[in-house]
Amino acid sequence: MASETPLQKVKADLERYAASEGKGVSFLLAVRMFLVTPGFQFVFSRRLQEMVVRIPVIGRALRRVIWWASCLIFGSEIAMAAKIGGGLYVPHPYGIVVGSARIGRNMHLLQNVTIGRKSREEPGDPMFGDDVTVSAGAVLLGPITIGDGAVIGANSVVLKDVPPRALAIGIPARIIPAAAPPPAADGVETLVASSL
Ligand SMILES: CC(C)(COP(=O)(O)OP(=O)(O)OC[C@H]1O[C@@H](n2cnc3c(N)ncnc32)[C@H](O)[C@@H]1OP(=O)(O)O)[C@@H](O)C(=O)NCCC(=O)NCCS
- pLDDT level of residue 181 (50, 70, 90 thresholds): confident
- pLDDT level of residue 1 (50, 70, 90 thresholds): low
What is the distance in A from the centroid of ligand 1 to the CA of 151? 10
Q: Order of strands across the sheet with 167-169?
A: 108-109, 133-134, 151-152, 167-169, 174-176
Say which residue, 172 or 186, is predicted with more confidence. 172
Burial (CB < 10 A; 0-12, 13-18, 19+), residue 142, is: middle
CATH numeric code, 6-176: 2.160.10.10
Measured between alpha carbons, how far is residue 37 from residues 72, 121, 169, 182 in Å?
Answer: 17, 38, 30, 40
**Cβ(153) – ligand 1 distance below 6 Å:** yes
Give pLDDT tens digits for 61-75: 999 999 999 999 999
CB 97 within 8 A of CB 76: yes
- In whole angstroms, give the CA distance from residue 156 to residue 142: 14
Q: Which of 114, 135, 158 to mutate to test the pocket of ligand 1 (most atoms within 8 A of CB)?
A: 135
Atom of ligand 1 nearest to the CA of 155: 23
- In whole angstroms, give the CA distance from residue 154 to residue 110: 9
Q: Which residues, in sequence order, are CB contacts of 97 under 8 Å at separation 6+?
A: 76, 77, 113, 114, 115, 116
Domain boundaries, the chain: 6-176
* Predicted confidence (pLDDT) at residue 191 exceeds the cutoff of 60: no
Give pLDDT tens digits for 87-135: 999 999 999 999 999 999 999 999 999 999 999 999 899 999 999 999 9
Check residue 99 and give its pLDDT. Answer: 97
**Cβ(134) – ligand 1 distance below 6 Å:** no
Amino acid residing at 86: G
Q: Which residues, in sequence order, are CB contacts of 5 under 8 Å at separation 6+?
A: none
Q: What is the mean pLDDT of the chain?
A: 93
Query: Containing H/E element for 76?
Result: none
Give pLDDT tens digits for 29-69: 999 999 999 999 999 999 999 999 999 999 999 999 999 99
| Furthest C-alpha separation in the chain | 77
For 73-78, the CB contacts below 8 A with 24+ separation are: 73/45, 74/38, 74/42, 74/45, 76/42, 78/46
What is the distance in A from the centroid of ligand 1 to the CA of 153? 6
